[in-house]
């Protein structure tokens, strides 16, 4: 049986029929995975499930008793009917199969680290994720984009989750626009104007309060990433990373988590965020550190990853600090930048836990650099944030 384990969630994909002839076998297989991974949540992806009899339902029941947070997704109408008639839809969360779309003949308009984006029609686009993208992350992106819009964050509205062959996709309103990255490259004369709007957009986001019962606390996320690196850094190094992150003042304002010129669109002269999957709440230092990392520290990769030359990325960053920390003297601004760069280093040190698909050799390089250049001075960041 196909399975995937990510973010404490086990996804299993039973195929064909599950009835008296094979239920015992299916049960054995699923519970072997549960024993192996000890998941906090189990998703039964019923995409390839054609029929389920009472023997199969008993397996579902046992699973639900073992891992309370178990759900069924992608149930065909036939399977959904069986679950509904037997009252199972009251016991366990069941989601029906998704609408099928085809992107054959559709124009590809963009590509990011997670998805490839196609124009579906004049009003909508579909973002198709890779086959290994965990389903709950896709669900999170849809629900966060919807909520972000309602909270007043300038962004595209998301519609529904769809299927396209073996992949999942999310349909979004088409922003009839270009990425900030393309806009900057197309007209360098407007760099200052775009830069000003970019800074203002980021500032606006950091002034909006998030509902802390819906969105995640970015500090918790960082602490989890640090824990994931327990085998990579020494216990002392892990302790320092935790201490530095936990010293950051708390805040309930939004943090985007992945701000760069390819995640911003320019429409009718206004800038909008896209790619809301990483939306959390916390101190704005988390975003500024990410911006410093992508705009300054990742010099060798900015053109390839964000389509913008390193000197322009640096200018965008410097202008943003100047604009968003108005009232500070040159000297104070240098200090602010130094603190932000310090936290960018921390983000860099933790990055092997964030992008788990990176080349191990590349990660080793990051860890060695962090060990030599970042961690020895990391404690000087404690108490240094004055905004």
Ligand X SMILES: Nc1ncnc2c1ncn2[C@@H]1O[C@H](COP(=O)(O)OP(=O)(O)O)[C@@H](O)[C@H]1O
Q: Which of 9, 47, 199, 263 binds ligand X (CB under 6 A)?
A: 263
Residue 144 vs 325, nearer CB to Mg ion: 144
User: Which partner from the list ligand X, Mg ion, none does 172 bind, CB cut-off 5 to 8 Å by kind?
Assistant: ligand X
CA separation for the pair 377, 227 (Å, rounded): 20
Q: Which of 49, 73, 125, 340 binds ligand X (CB under 6 A)?
A: 125
Q: How far is the CB of 386 from ligand X (least distance, A)?
A: 32
Position of tokens 């009718």?
268
Rule CB under 6 A: is residue 274 a binding residue for ligand X?
yes
Q: How far is the CB of 115 from ligand X (least distance, A)?
A: 4
Q: How far is the CB of 103 from ligand X (least distance, A)?
A: 13
Rule CB under 5 A: is residue 307 a binding residue for Mg ion?
no
Nearest to 284 by CA among 202, 213, 187, 206: 206
Q: Which of 14, 115, 216, 345 binds ligand X (CB under 6 A)?
A: 115
Rule CB under 6 A: is residue 351 a binding residue for ligand X?
no
Using the rule CB under 6 A, give the single segment among 66-74, 107-115, 209-217, 361-369 that binds ligand X. 107-115
Rule CB under 6 A: is residue 127 a binding residue for ligand X?
yes
Residue 27 vs 275, nearer CB to ligand X: 275
Rule CB under 6 A: is residue 305 a binding residue for ligand X?
no
Q: Which residues pair with 6 in a beta bridge?
A: 9
Q: How far is the CB of 190 from ligand X (least distance, A)?
A: 18
Give helix 330-354 / helix 285-292 axis angle, nearest 10°: 80
Q: Which of 13, 29, 109, 112 binds Mg ion (CB under 5 A)?
A: 112
Dump the DSSP string for 26-76.
HHHHHHHHHHHH--SEEEEEGGGEEEE-HHHHHHHHHHHHHSSSEEEEEE-
Rule CB under 6 A: is residue 56 a binding residue for ligand X?
no
User: Which H or E run includes 212?
Assistant: none
| Cα torsion 352, 275, 285, 283: sign | negative
User: Which partner from the list ligand X, Mg ion, none does 174 bind, CB cut-off 5 to 8 Å by kind?
Assistant: ligand X
User: Which partner from the list ligand X, Mg ion, none does 175 bind, CB cut-off 5 to 8 Å by kind?
Assistant: ligand X
Rule CB under 6 A: is residue 175 a binding residue for ligand X?
yes
Q: Which of 172, 194, 198, 317 binds ligand X (CB under 6 A)?
A: 172
CA separation for the pair 26, 37 (Å, rounded): 17
| Cβ-contact 341, 290 below 8 angstroms | no
Q: Which of 275, 279, 289, 295 binds Mg ion (CB under 5 A)?
A: 275
Helix, strand, or coil (residue 84): helix
Rule CB under 6 A: is residue 114 a binding residue for ligand X?
yes
Q: 53-91: b or e for each residue (b if 16 or more CB lie within 10 Å)?
A: eebbbebbeebbeebeebbbbbbbeebbebbeeeebbee
**Residue 300 C-alpha from the chain's centroid:** 23
**Residue 282 C-alpha from the chain's centroid:** 16
Scanning the chain, the segments in alpha helix (DSSP H) are: 23-37, 54-66, 77-85, 88-91, 135-150, 180-186, 191-205, 218-228, 235-246, 285-292, 302-306, 310-324, 330-354, 360-369
Rule CB under 6 A: is residue 174 a binding residue for ligand X?
yes
Rule CB under 5 A: is residue 133 a binding residue for Mg ion?
no
Residue 197 vs 262, nearer CB to ligand X: 262
Rule CB under 5 A: is residue 263 a binding residue for Mg ion?
yes
Q: Which residues sit at the interface with ligand X, rule CB under 6 A? A: 109-115, 117, 125, 127, 156, 172, 174-175, 179, 262-263, 274-275
Q: Which residues sit at the interface with Mg ion, rule CB under 5 A? A: 112, 263, 275
């Amino acid at each position: 049986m196909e399975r995937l384990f990510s973010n404490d969630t086990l996804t299993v994909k039973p195929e064909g029929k599950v009835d008296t002839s094979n239920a015992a076998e299916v049960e054995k297989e699923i519970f072997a995975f549960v024993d192996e991974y000890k998941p906090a949540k189990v998703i039964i992806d019923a995409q390839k499930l054609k029929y389920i009899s009472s023997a199969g339902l008993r397996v579902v029941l046992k699973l639900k008793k073992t891992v309370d947070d178990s759900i069924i997704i992608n149930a065909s109408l036939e399977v959904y009917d069986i679950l509904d008639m037997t009252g199972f839809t009251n016991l366990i969360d069941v989601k029906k199969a998704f609408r099928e779309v085809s992107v054959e003949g559709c124009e590809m308009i963009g590509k990011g680290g997670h998805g490839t984006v196609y124009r579906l029609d004049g009003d909508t686009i579909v973002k198709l994720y890779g086959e290994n993208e965990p389903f709950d992350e896709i669900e999170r992106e849809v629900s966060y984009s919807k909520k972000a819009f309602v909270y007043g964050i300038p962004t595209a509205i998301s519609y529904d989750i769809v299927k396209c062959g073996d992949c999942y996709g999310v349909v979004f309103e088409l922003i009839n626009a270009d990425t900030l990255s393309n806009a900057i490259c197309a007209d360098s004369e407007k760099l200052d104007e775009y830069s000003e709007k970019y800074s203002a957009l980021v500032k606006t986001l950091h002034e909006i309060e998030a509902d802390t019962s819906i969105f995640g606390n970015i500090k918790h996320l960082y602490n989890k990433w640090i824990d994931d690196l327990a085998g990579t850094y020494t216990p002392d190094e892990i302790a320092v990373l935790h201490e530095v992150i936990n010293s950051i003042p708390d805040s309930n304002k939004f943090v985007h988590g992945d701000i760069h010129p390819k995640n911003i669109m320019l429409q009718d002269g206004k800038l909008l965020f896209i790619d809301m999957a990483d939306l959390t709440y916390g101190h704005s230092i988390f975003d500024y550190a990410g911006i410093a990392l992508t705009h300054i520290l990742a010099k060798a990769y900015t053109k390839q990853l964000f389509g913008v030359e390193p000197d322009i990325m640096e200018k965008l960053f410097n202008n943003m600090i100047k604009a968003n920390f108005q009232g500070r003297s040159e000297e104070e601004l240098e200090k602010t930048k130094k603190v932000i760069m310090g936290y960018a280093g921390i983000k860099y040190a933790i990055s092997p836990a964030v992008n788990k698909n990176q080349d191990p050799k590349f990660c080793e390089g990051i860890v060695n650099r962090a060990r030599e250049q970042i961690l020895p001075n990391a404690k000087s960041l404690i108490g240094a944030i004055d905004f």
